[in-house]
Amino acid sequence: MQGVNIKTVDCVIDARWVIPVEPGPAVLADHSVVIEDGRIEAVLPSAEVELRYESRQRVSLPQHVLIPGLINLHTHAAMSLMRGLADDLPLLQWLNDVIWPAEAKHVSPQFVYDGTLLACAEMLAGGVTCFSDMYYFPEASARAALACGMRAAIGLIAIDFPTQYASDPDDYLAKGLAMRDAHRDQSLLSFCMAPHAPYTVSDRLFGRILTMADELDLPIHIHLHETREEIESSLAHYKARPLERLRALGIVGPRLIAVHGVHLTESELDLLADFGCTVAHCPSSNMKLASGFAPVAAMLARSINVGLGTDGAASNNRLDLFQEMRTAALLAKAVSGNPQAVPSYQALRAATINGARALGIDGVAGSIEPGKAADLCAISITGQELTPYYDLMSQLVYAAGRENVTHVWVAGRLLIDDRAFTGINLRDLDKRVGLWQNKLSGETRS
């Protein structure tokens, strides 16, 4: 067109609908997302694209909704190799009798790499573009995420007792810091301090973790108030509930990502709100381990930032954020007695921008806005299970599932194309997973 400069860009995605998540609950019909150098150049009506852009690649999604890539705020990704290993047990028995002994015998850098690769494949196929991980040998987790092209927040795990990964608190922190320094220039990686839980971390170690978090400006990702037993143990040993103990130590603050947050009093909810903390809500894991129901409606009423996590596949069996969105919304209604608790848009925010804010990457991910990375997920709104549709946001949360995901991009790179992986050798991975299954199966029989 005369007088108009046409810009050439890497890719244009034309979608029947775009849900950008920010700045509000909009559903944009017949819109396009323009991508250049892995970032979102523009979001505009599809009819205007030809007036402003030429593209090297054009993707047409005529019956799809395009949303931000989902963010799994709490995982132990490598534990995918333990999926189904010890089902139907309470948390402490599950940990003490099965999981920790199995980890002591089998977890290694190769175990973590293979298990994380398996988890990444599952998550990518389900529209998850970023995950926050807490596990041993975090360098292996980082390598696996990068091999898949995923975004990841890698936890620098620290506990007080020796494991196959580290011999003492000094060793955990030194290895975590070395891993972070080695990968700090990787644009797809960010990092968190990851003390396992109040019952495995001493006051002295918490002090050192807080110092590192302050110096490096890192979130603190920790299991907190998951079970009643955890609280009773803290009262017996420290004469304080876990959250109060962490407050006295200076851990409670805007960097805190409190995983689970099931058993919280009204005053503790107020404390989390006052200090600007995040809760990583893992509803399926909490139900499977009979930990209880987190008071999510009460959290949101106080404007606490609530993100969604799956936990590990050993305590959930699925790394499925669509399931977590639906479950979180339904449970909040049932627990609060309020059918308006956690509407569909709030559930989608919990799976996207809220997780990004908790991890300090909301300037990069979590919504479809110009300047952010092109981390995107396309869902096909077709088939008997998804028609008719009167409210697309509700359809996405209450009816759609990960099986409806067709395309996934991370930083503009197409990783799932019409439900097919573009860069992961699953055949070789399947062989390695089979070998680990044989080893762990033998362990469970002994």
Across all residues in the chain, what is the average pLDDT? 95
Most confident range, picked from 2-11, 80-89, 308-317: 308-317
pLDDT of residue 446: 41
Cross-sheet strand order for the sheet of 189-195: 70-75, 128-133, 151-158, 189-195, 220-224, 256-260, 278-281, 305-308
Task: Indicate the SS3 state at residue 188.
Answer: coil
Nearest to 119 by CA among 433, 440, 378, 438: 433
Task: Spell out the domains of the chain, with CATH numbers in brackets.
Answer: 7-68+371-411 (2.30.40.10), 70-359 (3.20.20.140)
pLDDT over 80 (residue 2):
no
Nearest to 19 by CA among 353, 342, 359: 353
Give the span between the Cα atoms of 69 and 72, in whole angstroms: 10
Question: What average pLDDT does the segment 116-142 reach?
Answer: 98
Single-letter amino acid, residue 249: L
pLDDT digits (tens, 9 = 90+) for 139-186: 999 999 999 999 999 999 999 999 999 999 999 999 999 999 999 999
Give the span between the Cα atoms of 327 and 321, in whole angstroms: 10
pLDDT digits (tens, 9 = 90+) for 184-225: 999 999 999 999 999 999 999 999 999 999 999 999 999 999
Strand ranges, E, within 214-321: 220-224, 256-260, 278-281, 305-308
Prediction pTM value:
0.97
Nearest to 362 by CA among 13, 6, 18, 22: 22
Question: What average pLDDT does the segment 379-385 reach?
Answer: 96
Task: Indicate the SS3 state at residue 55.
Answer: strand
Give the span between the Cα atoms of 177 and 264, in whole angstroms: 32
Question: What average pLDDT does the segment 392-414 reach?
Answer: 98
pLDDT over 50 (residue 445):
no
